[in-house]
Chain A
Amino acid sequence: MSTTTIEQAPAVALPPTSTFFQRFCRNRTAMVSAIILAIIVLAAIFAPYIAPHDPAKSSLRAILKPPGAVYWLGSDDLGRDVASRLIFASRLSLVASVQAVAIALVIGLPLGLIAGYVGGWIDTIISRFNDALMSFPALILAVVIVGLMGPSLSNAMTAIGLVYAPRIMRVVRGSTLSVREEVYIRAARAMGCGDIRIIALHVLPNVMGPLVVQATVLMGQALLAEAGLSFLGLGAQPPLASWGAMLGTAFPYMQQSPVPTIASGVVISVTVLCFNLIGDGIRDSVGRMRRAGD
């Protein structure tokens, strides 16, 4: 085909459009949450360099000490430094949440895409199965699975991941259903794209927004579930510490030494809050791109 330039498009500068990242940075709440979470993650990564004491070393002379210069947040019933244990526990707690959400994504994302894109009886089967799983209380199902497979944090989080998979699946299916009707999907089909290409390159990027929001919120929930299971003794096993496990061991001594209980509780709450607020921030930033897009 000839390359005669027909009529140069008006050389008007394109309107400045903000990127997703720029908009997210302008959202102060989400930004502060992201910074706090980044600090927590860094603390988890560099735990051995930051923690003032060995988290597993107990000292009989320092049982249930109040906070002070040596033990920043006091010591627990076995004379271990609470601050160091909290720092090390962040590793376990964060990894556990990531594991649960990753499992939920691996199962929920493909099923959601298939159910939403293919529709028909495949959708019906997946969705009914999904509804059945959704009707289970997450923690109870996790307790049952841990009861069957033996108490370990990994088992507990696998269970949580399985329970959360339907939530991912539901969000992905819903978004896929609406994206499937978009004209650009029809355009892709007219062009001769196969179904797999359409799902991977045309549907998936356009369901990412809601998916990321849901995954972030689930991170917070998984953290809470981990805390709950560990609190009950079904998650992290001694001598390992997770935040929930620490809350569980500190709780009986709350009368004598309230700080460890409060500290574990605050860390859990703050982290969960951060995840939720980041999720909200992402949701708002993604939404505005869509609106500004037209």
Chain B
Amino acid sequence: MTTPCLRVENLNVMYDVGKRKLHAAKDVSFEIAPGETLGLVGESGSGKSTAGLALLRLIEPSSGKIMLGDTNVATAGRRELQLLRKRMQMVFQDPYSSLNPSMTIEQLLTEPLIVHADMAASDRRAAVGKMLESVGLHAGYAARYPHEFSGGQRQRIAIARSMMLHPDLVVLDEPVSALDVSTQSQILKLLKNVQAASGTAFLLVAHDLAVVRLMSPRVAVMYLGEIVETGPSARVYDEPAHPYTAALISAVPFPDPVRQRSANRIILGGDLPSPLNPPSGCRFRTRCPFAMDICARAAPPTVQVEGGGVAACHLHTEGPKLGGRSLNAFMRERNIGAMEVTT
């Protein structure tokens, strides 16, 4: 593998909640190759957005390494960070609030150029026109204000803004979840095309599994601040090796009712435990249908999974000793059908 565009090692983010510490992201590690898209999925409160924001130092990480190329973002000083910002950008979830209502589209799109690039005003204007067209908007819209556009158009503008400096990495924080379903596919296509043309790496933070599967060849699944499983999308989706991943995927309905009924499904009960007081050992054990004694005692080991990727679960080394086989295979062997866990 070539040098990764981004390598995150043991990233930790802590919030102070009163006198207590909230461990919002715990030892998060992953890599993104240049031009690649990594999907980061998990339910609300799993820390996926926190991790995305920490990468850009919009939230201060408490420890860990964030290597963008060969520079560590986590320890960069003010000056250095300013230079790094040129190489990494962000697209936010809500295009209604991420564009300053008092600025025209031209002002919004030229801002990154003014801040980072030494360009003549006419060149900037030309760049804005070009970029607007490449995201499917008329160059003539440059003089308008954000409130004159629909949600999908605004998200196009936000994407255009993030691409103005041809960054190495763009963090997409739920880029389509605030949009209509019909608009979502247009925006996703746009993102794919933009990436194909620019070679920018994406970190796609999303809770919508279908979106992530469509967009990213590789996914990382987060639960309560930890990455529990990573791997190629096809493998993770079809043959999950961590019970939480299996549960997440079970939650997506099949369009075919026969398949829907016959599937090995894991239905989770209860809510995320409070991240202020996470369960001991494996953080998922309170909602895990396969929880064993050891899960409360020790943090699960990270195991290589057949078909690529890793999973952090005791099932692979204790109890049934799956040893990297998928959970589906295990459930088929034992003839376990749908499982429901209530807590």
Contact = CB atoms under 8 A, between A and B. Distances in A.
B89 A4 contact: no
B197 A2 contact: yes
Nearest to A293: B147
A15 interface: yes
A208 B103 CA distance: 13
Given A1-B163, A17-B148, A190 B134 contact: no
Q: Which of B94, B98, B133 has the most CB of A within 10 A?
A: B98
Interface string A31-55: 0000000000000000000000000
B205 to A, nearest CB: 14
Given A1-B163, A7-B189, A192-B112, A187 B92 contact: yes
A187 B100 CA distance: 9
A294 B115 contact: no
Given A6-B189, A7-B136, A192 B116 contact: yes
Interface stretch (A21-29, A143-151, A162-170, A197-205): A197-205
B98 A294 contact: no
A222 B194 CA distance: 56
Contact of B130 (A3, A189, A193, A201): A3
B111 A17 contact: no
A1 B100 contact: no
Contacts of B86: 192
B102 A9 contact: no
B56 A190 contact: yes
B136 A9 contact: yes
Contacts of B186: 7
Contacts of A183: 92, 94, 97-98
Interface in A149-199: 182-184, 186-194, 197
Main secondary structure of the interface of B (DSSP, over half): helix
A191 B97 contact: no
A69 interface: no
Interface residues on A, range: 35 or more
Q: Which of A189, A190, A205, A290 has the most CB of B within 10 A?
A: A190
Contact of A4 (B131, B134, B144): B134
A8 interface: yes
B135 interface: yes
A290 B166 CA distance: 32
Given A6-B135, A9-B138, A188-B111, A202 B147 contact: no
A255 interface: no
B115 A5 contact: no
Nearest to A294: B96
A289 B152 CA distance: 20
Contact of B197 (A1, A182, A194, A289): A1
Given A9-B156, A184-B98, A186-B92, A294 B133 contact: no
A184 B112 contact: no
Contact of B133 (A5, A189, A193, A292): A5
Interface string B143-159: 01011110011001010
A14 B189 CA distance: 23
A49 B101 CA distance: 45
A249 interface: no
Nearest to A2: B197
Contacts of A3: 130, 133-134
18 contacts: A2-B197, A3-B130, A4-B193, A9-B153, A183-B92, A184-B98, A186-B58, A186-B92, A187-B99, A188-B111, A190-B56, A190-B89, A192-B85, A192-B86, A201-B111, A205-B100, A293-B147, A294-B147
Given A187-B90, A190-B90, 11 more contacts: A1-B131, A1-B197, A5-B134, A9-B156, A14-B148, A183-B97, A183-B98, A184-B99, A187-B161, A206-B100, A293-B101
